[in-house]
């Protein structure tokens, strides 16, 4: 079974929208859990102790209750740097927790 990921910060949601795979429009939804949520182990304590990004995941669906339609994206340079960092992790075969 797959995980559904969510975050409690707009900045992390913006990164998720900007880095998502595909050609569709970038969207950020306001959601509420329908079951339990747990800290995302790929970020919590492994990369950012204490979970400052408020990154979570759930095996249960998330209910969409709204959409954030006005938000400021990152600069092209910031996006290049983030994508470069993600590519390095992929190249180095970084351990990603499923």
| CATH architecture, range 4-91 | Alpha-Beta Barrel (3.20)
Tokens of 33: 């859990």
Contact 12, 37 (CB under 8 A): no
Domain positions in the chain are: 4-91
The pTM of this model reads 0.81
b (16+ CB within 10 A) / e for 60-97: eebeeeeeeeeeeeeeeeeeeeeeeeeeeeeeeeeeee
Task: Quick: pLDDT tens for 7-26.
Answer: 999 999 999 999 988 999 99
pLDDT over threshold 90, residue 57: yes
Contacting residues for 32 by C-beta, under 8 A, at least 6 apart: 62, 63, 65
Task: Quick: pLDDT tens for 41-55.
Answer: 877 766 778 888 899
């Amino acid at each position: 079974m797959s995980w559904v990921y969510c975050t409690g910060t707009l900045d992390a949601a913006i990164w998720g929208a900007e880095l998502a795979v595909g050609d569709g429009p970038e969207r950020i939804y306001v959601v509420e859990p329908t079951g339990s949520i747990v800290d995302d182990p790929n970020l919590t304590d492994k990369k950012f102790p204490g979970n400052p990004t408020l990154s979570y995941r759930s095996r249960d669906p998330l209910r969409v209750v709204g959409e954030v339609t006005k938000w400021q994206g990152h600069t092209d340079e910031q996006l290049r740097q983030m994508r470069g960092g993600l590519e390095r992790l992929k190249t180095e075969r970084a351990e990603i927790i499923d």
